Amino acid sequence: MRARFLFSPVAALVVAAVVSACGGGGSSDNGVASKSPSEIVSSATQAINNVHSVHVSGAVTSSGTPITLDLNLVSGKGATGSMSQSGLSFKIVDSGQFVYINASKAFWEHIGGAAAAQLLNGKWLKAPANTGNFASLSKLTDVHQLLNALLATHGSLSKGATSTVNGHKVVAVKDATNGGTLYVATTGKAYPVEVVKPGADAGKLSFDKFNESVTVSPPSDSIDISQLKGQ
């Protein structure tokens, strides 16, 4: 089976987009709007340290390729949801140790050829999560790795206006060096709410449903990728 998975540029794009922009709800003012840009980022970092789960959704572009995400991430348990690349969508379950992918015939033909499409159409493919073709997905499906990557690296920061994004009151932090804007909740916990990246690799990612209950259930019937060696 040919393996031309394109997850590495997907993961790299998402992390690059959000870290270059270094976005949560509640009813009480948390005071972040009055802080400096770097202090706002620090507050957001502290807020995510105890996050157990989060929903991330949106669209990004990698070298002209459109990618969409709709994932529920659970700390220590993995993730579940769906993604698409160039209009080819697939379901994903990441149990931490293994990644499971379920996709259409068109998807498998695109990345693995006719033989892969015939074998895997409508079925779940199981592969190691931390090695091989699926390793880069760990950047997207690990809740703390993704959220900390959001806030770890940035250029010169400036504070923007307060506004409302996705129903949450937020304050904007702009990265003048790399471009992009991070929106941090000004009520409740100072969670990241949304990140917007302009330019050739434009994208927008939204974060919500922090600490809601999510079940990650690996499919009971799957085809192990190790059984496909040489096919």
Q: Is 231 among the domain residues?
A: no
What are 79's strand-pairing partners?
A: 73, 94
Q: Is 93 among the domain residues?
A: yes
Q: Is 230 among the domain residues?
A: no
Q: Count the domains in the chain.
A: 1
pLDDT tens-digit readout, 111-151: 788 888 888 988 999 988 877 767 766 666 776 676 666 56
Q: What is the mean pLDDT of residues 2-24?
A: 41
Which residues span the domain enclosing 42?
7-225
The CATH number for 193's domain is 2.50.20.20
The pTM for the full model equals 0.81
Q: Phi-psi category of 167—alpha, beta or left, where left has phi over 0 and alpha has psi -120 to 50?
A: left
40 against 144, higher pLDDT? 40
Q: Is 1 among the domain residues?
A: no
135 against 79, higher pLDDT? 79
Q: Terminal CA-to-CA distance of the chain, rounded, Å? A: 4
